[in-house]
Structure 1
Amino acid sequence: MQRRYPRRTVIAATVAALALVATACGGSGDSTTGSGGPVTLSMSAWSLNSTPEFKKLAEAFHSENPDITVEFKEYDATNYDTQLTADLAAGSGPDVFILKNLKNFITYQGGDQLLDVSDVADGLGGGVNGLGNYKVEGATYAVPYRQDSWYLYYNKDLFAKAGVTPPAATWTWADYEKATADLTAGLKAAGSPAKAAYQHVWQSTVQGLALAQTSGADITKGDYGYLKPYYERALKQQQSGAQVDYGTATTNTLQYQAQFGTQQAATMLMGSWYVATLIAQQKKGDAQAFQWGFAPAPQRDASTKDKPVTFGDPTGLGINAGIDGGKTAAAKKFLAFAAGEGGASALASIGITPATLTDKVTQAYFGVQGVPTDELSRFSFGSHDTHAENPVSPMTAALQNILQETHSAIMSGSTPVDEALTKAGARARSEVIEAQ
């Protein structure tokens, strides 16, 4: 059977000439790529029109490296790992590829698809959030350039229209539920069609926070009872009309950017990457003009109010183990830049939360036109305890696939919560955990 591969959009971003400083790879003195001339690197990407970070990294790298060209191979955002895996297996994968989250890291590493980049990691020094997640048996196989955390985004104008007090840093889930009920009533009374909240269809929107905020929760144990209160809350929000139901969101392929960006919802739980997206879309007119901010994700209780618990995987860069040897030094140079302060400052300048956070990077972040600078947004950015959504384990990908099916069954109403979670645990133990 003929295997089909993804259609690619190749966007050449000319980035600059190679004068490889070996300190970027943990050494000292000058070096070259060994190729004797300009080098072209291919790099995976997705949603280039609405995800500005890839081009920004290339442009910033250009200013420091005069002879390297980066070509983006664009994949479908939803099927990114499936399509990328197919390319890597066929020997046609990009030279540098992005690890969207930690879910499939061990799959790539265990499949010998990632080059050992310990020298790059050693040259970065301390202070790179999430770096340790990419280490296996003492060797590092990727470096993080982004470290997301999930916030509660809120539309200040819709809160004012509904006559509801905006979020506070101390909000618990009980506070959130009361606010969405008040918003639902207030917006209806004001004649607004907006919902109180939008919950996207991803399993992360429920499971990520439940895992992070529940003491002792661990997806590799095969006991998923900790998810119950989070699913009961989400179902209650659907049934009350506070948010669009899961069936409508999936059937109509609703986009979270449009739901919040066109003021269809007053609140939305989403990752920190959305700051940059919303700024760019408001600037281009793809999102409406309104006042907004972000707050910590609601908490189980007040005990974590000083350092709210949330979740978010790092986003990493790895080098294809099958890369042409003449490009390896250039690829390592790019990884060192992307994960270091240079790449971090570039990403912060468009509202992306990088893995490296310094005073300079924080200043760049809040200096971006459009980034909310109110006290609550600043607190949310600088004060949180972020737990990884995906534990680094050979079982993670298979377990998350089971939990994705469980999420769909619960949110669609096809299976009651208790029954679905019991089935998920049984499948996890029999199909994955006991098979190890």
Structure 2
Amino acid sequence: MNESNFATYANGGVIADLSDKLKGSSLTMSDYIDIQTKAYTWKGDVYGIPKDIDAIGLWYNKTLFQQAGVAAPTADWTWDDMVAAAQKLTDPAKGVYGIAAQPAAQQSYYSTIPQTGGTVISADKKKSGYDTPEAIKGVQVWVDLINKYHVSPTLQQMTDTDPDSMFTSGKVAMIYEGSWAAAEFADVPYAKANADVAPMPKLDKPGGVSNGLANVMAAKTAHPDQAFKFLEFLGSKKAETAQAAAGIVIPAYKGAAGGWVDSFPNYHLQVFVDALKNSSQYPSSLNSAIWQDAATAEFNKAWTGDETVAAAAKKVAAQMDKALAAEK
């Protein structure tokens, strides 16, 4: 189960409330990263055993940095440092851009809005935060990379060619991408040899957002005891540690990430584990897809320059507030 759809399935009675079974089980919810335990709790009851979690980092091309004479990103980098580096790395003659300003929410404004002091959705999940000055700033920085600094491919270019492909082929020097990309990039020889990752540059304060999956069971299963027994195994330290060693995802079990960090020694993956300290929960509500899809479509108009970020944010917030008000 993923976070965007969780509340829909829990509220609809499709997945089982695990609270009673947890009372006599070997699982302790405090063993999992807190924001994931919270993400899969509905009206005070647990419906999912956290499986994994992700984080966003600044992936960069070591060779392009060296060729441009730009020092590699550090943990002290600010957003302005990143923009300055992107300007030096952008080479129109070679078709190389400093950074890809992806329109994907988690790899762009979901990661920067917390750093500008804004929120996507209120804590009680009843109101949008998009139309606040802080949130608008968190979106504006991405639009500026395309339309002000010209250090990113355009939305059309990123629609025609996937930004990850641009990065793994050496046409983009930096990209905000998730912990899950380690396995993806390691499968591409050029990226395996030339890529590395650093912490996200800071805006006003540290911050970010994390998503993750949970293991759940059907509410109407004919075998609830057996199903929960399997969930106990999947949620155990043993299973989570094995999952980490496979190198695909960061386990949600506290202290089990070491195997994942070691799975790709050519990348500094500890960056992602450290990022979890300042990560907030992935924005979601009872019917997340309704307002998430609308936000993407509207903000795309800002990405192309056809609409200001402030105007787009105002429309997104109005659409979102209407959708949230309709949730029961």
TM-score (norm 2): 0.84
Matches for 1:417-432 after TM superposition, within 5 Å: 417-432=309-324
Aligned residue number for residue 382 of structure 1: 274
Aligned residue number for residue 51 of structure 1: none
1:173 aligns with 2:79: yes
Q: In structure 1, how many angstroms separate the alpha carbons of the residues matched to 2:73 and 2:89?
A: 12
Aligned residue number for residue 274 of structure 1: 181
Aligned residue number for residue 261 of structure 1: 168
1:134 aligns with 2:36: no
1:353 aligns with 2:247: no
Aligned residue number for residue 28 of structure 1: none
- State the identity as a percent: 22
- The structure with the greater share of residues assigned to strand is 1
Given residue 218 of structure 2, which amino acid in structure 1 is its aligned partner? N
Maintained 8 Å contact 1:349/1:368: yes
Q: CA deviation at 1:255?
A: 2.8
1:109 aligns with 2:10: yes
Q: In structure 2, how many angstroms separate the alpha carbons of the residues matched to 1:367 and 1:410?
A: 40
Maintained 8 Å contact 2:113/2:120: yes
TM-score (norm 1): 0.65
Gaps of 5+ in 2: none
Residues 378/165 of structure 1: CA separation in 2 closer, same or farther (3 Å cut): same
1:241 to 143, 150, 153: 150
Q: CA deviation at 1:198?
A: 1.9
Q: CA deviation at 1:104?
A: 1.8
Select the structure of larger CA radius of gyration: 1
Q: CA deviation at 1:355?
A: 0.6
Q: In structure 2, how many angstroms separate the alpha carbons of the residues matched to 1:339 and 1:151?
A: 26
Residues 379/272 of structure 1: CA separation in 2 closer, same or farther (3 Å cut): closer
The number of equivalent residue pairs is 314
Q: In structure 2, how many angstroms separate the alpha carbons of the residues matched to 1:430 and 1:364?
A: 44
Maintained 8 Å contact 1:145/1:314: yes
Q: In structure 1, how many angstroms separate the alpha carbons of the residues matched to 2:237 and 2:78?
A: 35
**Superposed CA offset, 1:345-388 (max 9, x none):** 22322332111132xx3432233244424xxx535533531111
Aligned residue number for residue 415 of structure 1: 307
1:368 aligns with 2:268: no
Matches for 1:195-344 after TM superposition, within 5 Å: 195-215=97-117, 217-220=119-122, 221-224=127-130, 225=132, 226-239=134-147, 240-250=149-159, 252=160, 254-279=161-186, 281-282=187-188, 285=189, 288-301=191-204, 304=205, 308-323=206-221, 325-326=222-223, 328-344=224-240
- The structure with the greater share of residues assigned to helix is 2
Given residue 196 of structure 2, which amino acid in structure 1 is its aligned partner? G
Structure with the larger RCO, 1 or 2 (CA within 8 Å, 6+ apart):
2
RMSD value, Cα: 2.6
